[in-house]
Structure 1
């Protein structure tokens, strides 16, 4: 059994005695509190993801700049142009003193990718042909084809290595955790005592500024605490909480935006009436003035998206976008008005489309833009609660890798969104491609079919922001929006 807590409090008080330290690094995460009982099953809960990244790790992880770095593996080599990965483990032990073995790592990665796995990345692991424990400290992973994004995938919190629910991250949860309070103290994981010349030497005491005081708070509360100097950094900001940050008029140095990619748009969750036909779903998409929508969030904070798979995604043989991409909004709306009028003449009135958006100040601008844009072409719309039945539901998701296949996997036919046998067949053909050139062609064909089906209306690039005080010296915006807690404050020694 791996312990989750350490008797840190006495060390913490002793280190405070000098009065020199600035105290713990104070982090507010915009998220609901978590009980952290089954973190892998709870993902993508922001609270569970951040705690899991702090207290556990996989073979590799992402650093503060979004680059892959060693974790349980001290080093690795990539062979066969990205088809074989060989990892050598660090000499680390679990809390009970037993060694972390290649067999444990291999078994957990196999479990994550097996059919029926609850792991969110299970389908992304389908390229794995074999995982072997070559020696107690060497893991070899053979893929069916080269994958240049494979290390990015392995760095996801979803692939942390756990034993009895606990892992070996840079921190431990100190002195317990009361989820009802939404506050947790994290302390650096200490090296075990060493025997030197026959004497047991304890590691250096933990200084307060090496610890992290993590709070899970609503967006308005977190921003207000930052404005009053009660927290050092606010993480977990998105489109819906951005108005809270703007309300305190932060400087550009304090309000930091991550250049993430992913999905921010509307999933078609009802496929009857006007929404039953792909061409009608496309009408909804082409009628939207995304420049107007981006302007609501600020021109430098939001970026329009017309295609489901971004054009610079790894693996695409050619750009895949809608045929109307270069048309003006006026021309698109003229076409849409005529198409809607024709449909109404043949089928009767269109029932108001129900759009489900989560609660928060950001949804007002999003819904206002949708209502105005669709009213201009004769389509009525109403906003419904997030938990209510809906016709369209907002998706806000950061991509785990740069690969085009990540986007394609989000729209498999078992997701309850518009799909086709042809799309399912194209996804299978990607896995069976005999070469990288053929695979890129098939990825492009699948992306083209996905765009035609329109199970989802892209709106903008996802928005991820943080509020950063001058005390935080290790923060760096990055394409995955990941900010490991142990990287936020640069070492002073």
Structure 2
């Protein structure tokens, strides 16, 4: 047997340790986003998830999100909010844009106004309607004035679409390189971003590679150890996790709120009248749907606004109180029979994303609708349809968000102008109690219109390997890339 001195053995052990540290920091964190068409390099006002993640990583806003979904400093290192909630004053950090132009109140204001303008006509643009003025103040100070207090305003400013650009480029915190269809991102050293230097930065930061993949392929590569984190999981693909043998310990569910249900998109024929659209909503057995979906903690609701919204004054409750499912279906079936008296029974096309979870959902809906005399046909997600799945996570949990998503301004085929009018009045009402009452009236009008059939809250899941750092489930389904690329200090 070959013997080595203890000092030699200790030296070898130290070398192995250092090599493993180097390997840990040199190896890219591999992230897959579900959705083969969801390019990380997409542009426009409505970004797919992969592009949102890249935008957040390469173009900070005034504020951003950490891995817990909390608002943190970004281009602004501190801020104050006036007591009336109508003025947000941001002090920008000392730094430059990628073209070496100084980061000033003027340049930040111009970038912010450009970002806001690009969101016109979108639901997020409507969420920002409380902004009255953006002012550049002395040096590196920006003030945003609101015409009405908005408790979740910082949450809105942290959204990926409000990452600020100058000449098409953002100021980090990561630098992007394109590798064919993958995005390779590297953390930028703090001192290069106008921040205090961090000791041992090179050993703490790692490069990260992000790619969009079909759901089955993303899960297979995760199981094979080729992918560290899978993001963007929805109900459509949730059953794949059991079928593919993914470890339960790797699955992370985000406790989100939002819209999950069917929007009426054909204003002709059977769906032309609100009472017939209501008949479909009445027929759904949401308890049976919850059992079929088999998602722990899933919350069903008949309301458009999720229960527990921050400004819910309690005047709008669950629908059809005191009526059993059988009683509701009896009323609904009578309406269908009246429609079908001199014509064929209704046959409705339901557009759903591909996936086993969608198949489970459709099977339940088909049985529910059949019970009242309606035939359902499943069609592709983007095909012509009568009803289309809406599956969107709330950016903030207040009535205004839900109403903006379903407003006429958001290009809904079927909408409620009266609900929009009341919501608009709410935005101008300074008294919180009166504003909440106007929002409740708007929800009631939208409910009467029956343009949207709620099932419950959305489902969002991720897969996370055991060695991953910088990931936490949170209510916003926000999982920024920068924390994933950093090792604990």
TM-score using structure 1 length: 0.88
1:482 to 457, 461, 478: 478
Q: Secondary structure at the match of 1:210?
A: coil
Distance, in Å, in 2 between the alignment partners of 1:436 and 1:193 is: 44
Distance 1:101 1:470, change over 3 A: same
Q: Secondary structure at the match of 1:308?
A: coil
Distance, in Å, in 1 between the alignment partners of 2:151 and 2:105 is: 23
Residue 231 of structure 1 deviates from its aligned partner by 1.4
Tell me what 2:222 maps to: 226
What number of residue pairs does the alignment pair up? Answer: 466
Tell me what 2:289 maps to: 293
Distance, in Å, in 2 between the alignment partners of 1:103 and 1:137 is: 8
Contact 1:311 1:320 survives alignment (8 Å)? no
Distance, in Å, in 2 between the alignment partners of 1:303 and 1:143 is: 34
Larger helix proportion of the pair: 2
Distance 1:237 1:68, change over 3 A: same
2:269 paired with 1:267: no
Residue 252 of structure 1 deviates from its aligned partner by 3.6
2:329 paired with 1:333: yes
Distance 1:265 1:272, change over 3 A: same
Distance, in Å, in 2 between the alignment partners of 1:202 and 1:435 is: 47
Tell me what 1:186 maps to: 185
Measured against aligned partners, the alpha-carbon deviations of 1:361-386 in whole angstroms (never above 9, x if no partner) come to 22111110110000011111111222
Residue 319 of structure 1 deviates from its aligned partner by 4.3
Residue 318 of structure 1 deviates from its aligned partner by 2.2
Tell me what 1:29 maps to: 33
Residue 38 of structure 1 deviates from its aligned partner by 5.6
Measured against aligned partners, the alpha-carbon deviations of 1:281-323 in whole angstroms (never above 9, x if no partner) come to 1110110011222222215153212101113212232242454
Residue 173 of structure 1 deviates from its aligned partner by 1.3
Tell me what 1:197 maps to: none
Residue 204 of structure 1 deviates from its aligned partner by 6.8
Distance, in Å, in 2 between the alignment partners of 1:299 and 1:215 is: 27
User: 1:373-384 maps to which residues of 2 (within 5 A)?
Assistant: 373-384=368-379
Distance 1:470 1:432, change over 3 A: same
Tell me what 1:353 maps to: 348
Tell me what 2:408 maps to: 413
Residue 479 of structure 1 deviates from its aligned partner by 0.6
2:164 paired with 1:168: no
Distance, in Å, in 2 between the alignment partners of 1:28 and 1:419 is: 36
Residue 255 of structure 1 deviates from its aligned partner by 0.6
Contact 2:116 2:162 survives alignment (8 Å)? no
Residue 17 of structure 1 deviates from its aligned partner by 9.8
Distance, in Å, in 2 between the alignment partners of 1:421 and 1:106 is: 34
Contact 1:42 1:48 survives alignment (8 Å)? no
Contact 1:56 1:162 survives alignment (8 Å)? yes
Structure 1: 4+ residue segments shifted above 4 A: 33-38, 191-194, 201-205
2:179 to 174, 177, 180: 177
Residue 80 of structure 1 deviates from its aligned partner by 2.7
Q: Secondary structure at the match of 1:465?
A: strand
2:429 paired with 1:438: no
2:158 paired with 1:155: yes
Distance, in Å, in 2 between the alignment partners of 1:243 and 1:483 is: 22
Distance 1:76 1:192, change over 3 A: closer
1:70 to 65, 69, 73: 73
Distance, in Å, in 2 between the alignment partners of 1:403 and 1:286 is: 25
Distance, in Å, in 2 between the alignment partners of 1:202 and 1:395 is: 44
Residue 350 of structure 1 deviates from its aligned partner by 2.8
1:468 to 464, 468, 472: 464
Distance, in Å, in 2 between the alignment partners of 1:202 and 1:62 is: 20
Distance 1:193 1:335, change over 3 A: closer
Residue 215 of structure 1 deviates from its aligned partner by 2.1
Tell me what 2:447 maps to: 451
Q: Secondary structure at the match of 2:218?
A: helix
Tell me what 1:7 maps to: none
Distance 1:299 1:45, change over 3 A: closer
Which sections of structure 1, spanning at least 5 residues, go unmatched?
Answer: 1-15, 195-200
Which sections of structure 2, spanning at least 5 residues, go unmatched?
Answer: 1-16
Farther-moved stretch of structure 1 (165-174 vs 25-34)? 25-34
Distance 1:70 1:232, change over 3 A: same
2:87 to 84, 107, 119: 84
Distance 1:311 1:19, change over 3 A: closer
